[in-house]
Amino acid sequence: MQRRELFGSLASSLSGKEKQGKLLRPPYNSDESLFHNECSKCDAKCATVCEEDIIKIAEDKSPYLHFSHNGCTYCDKCAQACEYGVLSVQNKKVIEAEITIDRNSCLSWGHTMCFSCKDPCLENAIDFKAMFMPTINDKCTACGFCISRCPTDAIKIKVL
């Protein structure tokens, strides 16, 4: 593990759910109350089947997403593993979050060539003016792959 990855993971663990208050949920839910009513009966199968290891379990035993190392591929496995109907493939939608780029901390906005966020983007949702000044476009699914790749933590996620 490189020093940047170590400090990035430490910072992201401090800036995860505690800072936001509202948990970032997997994209297969329709009713927030189900997380509180049904997840306590489960043994967290959704987290164990997640190949990207982004589903974490909160104190109340409900799942939330944490993009410290990877993002969501929308593979449906967490929804298929859910036995209590909290997550369902029929309720598949984009992750309810807004991704933004902090221009003050972004290397590219500071005129240093960097495509760390664009390269892992599965949806081609990051546009660059010439080779600088990245912006998030409307193709963004909030999958989170760009977040852990940013060397300066300039990519922010806001739970909607």
Kindly report, residue by residue over 137-149, the tens digit of the pLDDT.
999 999 999 999 9
What tens digit of pLDDT does each residue of 104-128 get? 999 999 999 999 999 999 899 999 9
State how far the Cα of 130 lies from the Cα of 153, in Å rounded to an integer.
Answer: 22
Residues 9 and 69 in one domain: yes
Q: What pLDDT sits at residue 14? A: 41
Whether residues 40 and 84 share a domain: the answer is yes
Per-residue pLDDT band for 1 (boundaries 50, 70, 90) equals: very low
Domain coverage including residue 32: 3-91
115: domain CATH number? 3.30.70.20
Confidence of residue 15 (pLDDT cuts 50, 70, 90): very low
Pick the last residue of a domain from 34, 63, 91.
Answer: 91
pLDDT confidence bin for 136, thresholds 50/70/90: very high
Task: Report the alpha-carbon distance of residue 31 to residue 107 in Å, rounded.
Answer: 39
Compare 33 and 12 and report the one with higher pLDDT.
33
Tell me the C-alpha distance between 41 and 160, whole Å: 26
Mapped onto helix, strand or coil, the DSSP state of residue 130 is coil
How confident is the model over 36-70, as pLDDT tens digits?
Answer: 999 999 999 999 999 999 999 999 999 999 999 99
- Same domain, yes or no: 34 and 82: yes
Global confidence as pTM:
0.83
User: Encoding tokens for residue 85?
Assistant: 């109907």
On whether both 111 and 152 belong to a single domain, the answer is: yes
pLDDT of residue 130: 86
Identify the bridge partners of residue 63 per DSSP, sorted by sequence position. Answer: 57
Asked if 72 contacts 93 with a C-beta cutoff of 8 angstroms, the reply is: no
Percent of the chain past pLDDT 90, that is, above it, reads 84
Instruction: Name the domain boundary from 41, 66, 91.
Output: 91
Concatenate the DSSP letters of all residues of 21-65 into one string: SS----TT-S-HHHHHHHGGGS--HHHHH-TT--EEE-TTS-EEE
Whether residue 135 contacts residue 155, with contact meaning beta carbons closer than 8 Å, is answered with no
Cβ atoms of 30 and 53 closer than 8 Å? no
Same-domain check for residues 73 and 101: no
